Structure 1
Amino acid sequence: MLRNRSTAGAEPERTRVPLPLSMGLGTGSMLQPLNSSMIAVAVIAIAHDFGTFAGTAWVISGMYIATAVVSPAAGRLGALFGPRRMYLAGLAIIAASSVFGALAPSLTWLIVARALLGVGTATQYPTAMMIVRRVAAETGAETRTALAVLTVCSQSMVALGPTLGGLLTTAFGWQAIMWVNLPMAALTGLWVLRVVAPDGPRERTGARVVLRRMDLPGTVLFLAFITTTMVFLLSLAERPRWVILPVMLVSGALLVWRELRAPEPFIDLRAMLRNRPLAMTLGRTTVTYTAFYLVYFGLPQWLQGGRGMDAGHAGLIMLPLALVSIASTVTATRVYSNYGPRPALLVGTVGLVVGGALLATVADSTVTIAAIVGIAMILGIPNSFNNIGNQNIVNAVTTTEEVGVALGMYRTLQYIAANIAAVIIEICMGGAIDDAGFHRVGLVMTGLGAALLVGVVFSRTLRGLGPRG
């Protein structure tokens, strides 16, 4: 499935994937980080509207679980039916689920709508990269610039989401975070229809052949394993559901057994184990995103619970993080293009150590808002450099057909990391959002950053990887 590639000598100057195509695909890729970030400051308003806080965690987690489960499948479906078709189908699901969610009569139906929204948004990034790689293969263009555009779109929404979500919720109510998807989905659909060439004719195969290529048993086992893993991790924050643990372990063992023997596996574990750069990158991604979500979830919670800010002001504090993330993504792309992934990852991991140390020692209820804004700006740097480094490695060591599934796994691990971070925050806070708990969160982030830094410095798999594609 996945191949390791290394650079050999200087490459000739290559053209770039057309910017209108990259930006059109990027507008759709915005929807997943936008919707997963806006909700962070809307949960309290949702709980007040429905009259209960019980179950509100599932408004966030339902989308994360759906996205984690569907992302690799989206890459496989894109390979079978065409990435443009799947990209547009995802937009249709996003639009329908947004209307459903905004009009939801109960919290249960809102959770269902958010899960469907996760299904739709999960298709965008893997299929976008498949389209980029297809265009690059047809024209001989490099993909780094297109990947940078997609990353900027994603990074900007990850950080702007809390700000936008806070403003929309304050001005129009929480339903506005659902309605805002409709114009974006419509604009993206029209844009993609105009700039992306249609997929080639589908191979006429029966349902049995399609199911075989999808590796239905492997897909079902993957769904069972990821879902039980996410639910179990979520339960650790309050009341551990130990009964789920055996199901998780058994489904995971069966998944490994099945995928190592399947002729066309859903997740090609054999090839993944042979491809050490990919395996190491996916592992590094899990730790990196755990550290990122400690900030992403922990900082707004502390600002509201520890310093008494409302959702709108807490969201505005995240704005400097967004601006620095966007600017540093451009810089990170240049670093990767000129020097390869290791320097980009070094900047990212050092940034995690510094940012975590600041949270552990400086951030408290007495520090000035200016100091908090300064810390937020520093925290905007590491995620950009780590993302550019890790995503470019995945892009470099996979083929055009494989990149969708590989980046789908990248997304899956991102959301597993989000749940791990939520558990860590709950444990560190000990049921009360205060300075001491937030400092403990910072210490954990510092430790994760230090572990990543040691790994990047001594990694053998990074030695053969220079700037590519």
Structure 2
Amino acid sequence: MPRTTHESPSQKDSNAEDLLRSTDPKPELPGKFVTPIALGTILQPLNSSMIAVALVGIRSHFDAGTSVTWLVSALYLATAVAAPAMGRIADVLGPRRTSLAGIVLVGATSAVAPFAPNVATLVVCRILIGIGTAAQYPCGVAMIRRAADRLRSRPNNTLAALAICSQVTAALGPSLGGLLVGGFGWAGVFWINVPLAVFGGAVIMRWGPADAPARGHSSGRLKSLARVDPVGMLLFAVSITTLMFWLLSLAATPVWWWLAVAVPAVALTAWWGLRARDPFLDMRLLARGGLSLTYVRTIVTYTAFYCVFYGLPQWLEEARGLGPVGTGLVVLPIAAVGAVSTLLATRLQRKQGPRAALLVGTAALCVGGLLLTVPDAGSPILLLLVVSAMLGLPNGFNNMGNQGAMYAAAPAERMGAASGLYRTSQYVGANLAAALLALVIGGHADDAGLHRMGLAISIIAGALLAASLFGLLRRRRA
């Protein structure tokens, strides 16, 4: 009878983090895998940010009112629900196949979206685009894990490329969207997806890490697809959708019956995850190596991030009096410094592990939050640029630290589902940020609102920093 070894949670975390450290003699994953994986992952941040500059044109074209805001919310909701589902499908059918299917869905939907007869149809198109783009990140991480395991390589540089692509694309999305709307009208933000999908799909087919050979014919694949656990997916979809709707309502008038539906739905999802033979959301997986703690930390981190992402531009326009172009230039250092800090975080994580990157990131976020209490409506542009640059510093460290902790804690055979839940955690944080901004800033951004937002961010970062230090001390004692 084989002997069973038992490890404490701290020992499991330590063993998992060794996968990312330079003490491991494995080389980095070859660079040829970066481009095909990264190309797909730019679709989601690009589509989430470009639409902002097209809303006015869409509202005018369809003579619509506030219903056009659903074009923004629909993509976030679809991505939050679909990311872990597509990740689980990737675990079963293969990440390369699933990624290509998602890209085809994005390209086909974007080709017909400009011909939508009304806003409701356009919202449906955005939901389908959200499903297709949701597949790319979990499939990308799953492809990285499988290629790294097969080639006995470390994934630090490739994971950093995903983080940089996401940050830079989200920041440049409004600028690219403005050019597209200026040249082709609001339909341009949809047309651009077609060549991107064709090119991205071709690159993945040529250089993307291959999936394991499919077993059997179509009937065998259908049996494999049944392992995805459709009941668990449905319960999770109801849980996360009702929870997100409730969080969205907190920015105005809370709709408590959404929460009344969400709570039992979450309980049923957890019950099914413990009961099912091969569950979509494996509750035992969430307890493995602090994976659930990584998701909670990601939610809290992205609550602070999206407060900056949405709150600072609002203050720059309403209180500081800058126009859209000036606001975009002032917040540009957030993306630029974020890309540089991602590279620095990759080197730090390679030497010290994800915890070190998280310590630096949360400390920098605390300082950045405190700096937001300094500016007022008369502050010089130079000061605002310095504050903006400081706010970009924690992004790379926190993103790489949380992403590295998730990668190290999740088992290879569940990497798609685990990274999909990581994506969902980010969007839960985005909705919490909307509720927090409604509380600290309200309907009009003034100096006092900016300062309250800065204090809230510093408190959030301080709590994260304390938790990281506690985990480090517990690990050293173990």
Q: Normalising by the residue count of structure 2, what TM-score does the alignment of the two structures yield?
A: 0.90
**How many positions carry a matched residue from both structures?**
462
Distance 1:264 1:118, change over 3 A: same
Give 1:349's match in structure 2, choosing from 358, 362, 375.
362
Counterpart of 1:328? 341
Counterpart of 2:468? 456
1:57 aligns with 2:84: no
**Deviation for aligned residue 1:270:** 1.8
Distance 1:10 1:328, change over 3 A: closer
Counterparts of residues 215-254 of structure 1 (less than 5 Å): 215-254=229-268
Q: Gaps spanning 5+ residues in structure 1: where?
A: 465-469
Distance 1:453 1:116, change over 3 A: same
Give 1:107's match in structure 2, choosing from 111, 119, 126.
119
**Deviation for aligned residue 1:114:** 1.4
Task: For 1:391, give the aligned amino acid.
Answer: Q
Q: SS in structure 2 opposite 1:375?
A: helix
Distance 2:116 2:319 in 1: 32
Counterpart of 1:467? none
Counterpart of 1:422? 434
More moved, 232-241 vs 8-17: 8-17
**Deviation for aligned residue 1:167:** 4.4
Counterpart of 1:176? 188
Task: For 2:123, give the aligned amino acid.
Answer: I
Distance 1:23 1:461 in 2: 39
Identity %: 42
Task: For 2:374, give the aligned amino acid.
Answer: T
Counterpart of 2:4? none
Distance 1:366 1:47, change over 3 A: farther
Distance 1:116 1:20 in 2: 30
Distance 1:44 1:456, change over 3 A: farther
**Deviation for aligned residue 1:36:** 1.6
Distance 2:183 2:372 in 1: 31
Q: Normalising by the residue count of structure 1, what TM-score does the alignment of the two structures yield?
A: 0.92
Asked whether the 8 Å contact 1:83–1:130 carries over to 2, the reply is yes
Distance 1:160 1:349 in 2: 25
Distance 1:451 1:389, change over 3 A: same
In angstroms, what is the RMSD of aligned CA positions? 2.4
Q: SS in structure 2 opposite 1:202?
A: coil
Task: For 1:268, give the aligned amino acid.
Answer: D
1:192 aligns with 2:204: yes
**Deviation for aligned residue 1:172:** 4.7
Counterparts of residues 361-440 of structure 1 (less than 5 Å): 361-362=374-375, 364-440=376-452
Counterparts of residues 294-305 of structure 1 (less than 5 Å): 294-305=307-318
Task: For 1:237, give the aligned amino acid.
Answer: A
Counterpart of 2:5? none
Task: For 1:26, give the aligned amino acid.
Answer: A
Distance 1:461 1:211 in 2: 44
Distance 2:360 2:209 in 1: 38
Q: Gaps spanning 5+ residues in structure 2: where?
A: 1-8
Write the deviation string for residues 60-100 of structure 1: whole angstroms up to 9, x where unpaired.
11101100101111111112211111111111111122233
Distance 1:407 1:392, change over 3 A: same
Asked whether the 8 Å contact 1:151–1:329 carries over to 2, the reply is yes
